[in-house]
Amino acid sequence: MTTPLPLGRPLRLGTRASPLAMAQVHMAAAALRAAHGWGVGDIEIVPVTASGDKVLDRPLAEIGGKALWTKELDQWLRDGHIDAAVHSMKDVETLRPEALKIAAMLPRADVRDTLVGAGSIAAIPAGGRLGTSSPRRAAQVKRLRPDVEIVLFRGNVATRLGRLERGEADATLLATAGLARLDMAHVGTPVEVAEMLPAPAQGAIGIEVLRNNAAVCALVGAINDSATSACVLAERALLRGLGGTCHSPIAALGQVEGNALRLRAEIIAPDGTETIAEERLLAPDRAEAEAEALGRAMLERASADLRALFTP
């Protein structure tokens, strides 16, 4: 059965213009077409070059944080240029405008990081260099290998792999899900979650809409994966409790277990010398509130230096 199109025109999906973002918006479009019986012409893909894709020589936290991935799409939603925006949930700020709503998440992909350039963290040469712009990845690597030097790597997957090829670092870490979506699953070696807990929301794709647009909310909501949504919302609630920024090394992973949700989380000193780790079973009807409280409790256990990374 075919669902009528809103406003009698194609549904417009906004996205960043990077190759990975384009692959992800096509995944969202395919899911919507399958759910509603639409044809190729029933969805229009509208790309934008995000501010975060324009400045690659400085850490994200120095130039505006995660908002640089979303602000153009947020404005296009408000102005009516697009009906929905497709995001990597890992890149969406914890606190979002009240007018916007994440109406759906696609089934989560592999949450692990993939190491490229070495067969394992232990195999990185002594005193070697690892390229990353992620405070979490940097702190986790320093915890495992204090001798490794961290080199700033920003840009899309091809840019970072190109820098690695030119010898600017001995290894780099990339999201396994992103490599798979770019048909590059053969590149590198995945690092198990037991060794490197992923970033909150890693591997998840979300679709955001205007909260008061009931028609589009319903259309997009039809493809929501409830397990992914529950886990990612709990991870994002933990971030709210921590009050973290792009400077804050945070790892978290939620997994549905029967009638509960297991949440594992870490906050880590940048040099890897301090880790506050927690693991809790959360009640499904209170998962977000309990995850937020867990974040606050983790901060209370942290040293003053580590806590300072999470407070304005």
Give the distance, in angstroms, between the CA of residue 219 and the centroid of all CA atoms in the same chain: 23
Read off φ and ψ for residue 116, nearest 5 degrees.
-115, 130
Q: Nearest to residue 204, comparing CAs of 247, 240, 236?
A: 236
Q: How many CB atoms lie within 10 A of CB 311?
A: 12
Is 53 a residue of the active site?
no
Give the distance, in angstroms, between the CA of residue 223 and the centroid of all CA atoms in the same chain: 19
How would you classify the pairing of strands 149-151 and 250-257? unpaired
Can you tell me which residue has the tokens 């077409």?
A: 33
Read off φ and ψ for residue 191, nearest 5 degrees.
-100, 125
The active-site residue, picked from 53, 83, 91, 170, is 91
d(CA 113, CA 254): 16
With beta carbons less than 8 A apart as the criterion, state whether 232 and 105 touch. yes
Active site residues per annotation: 91
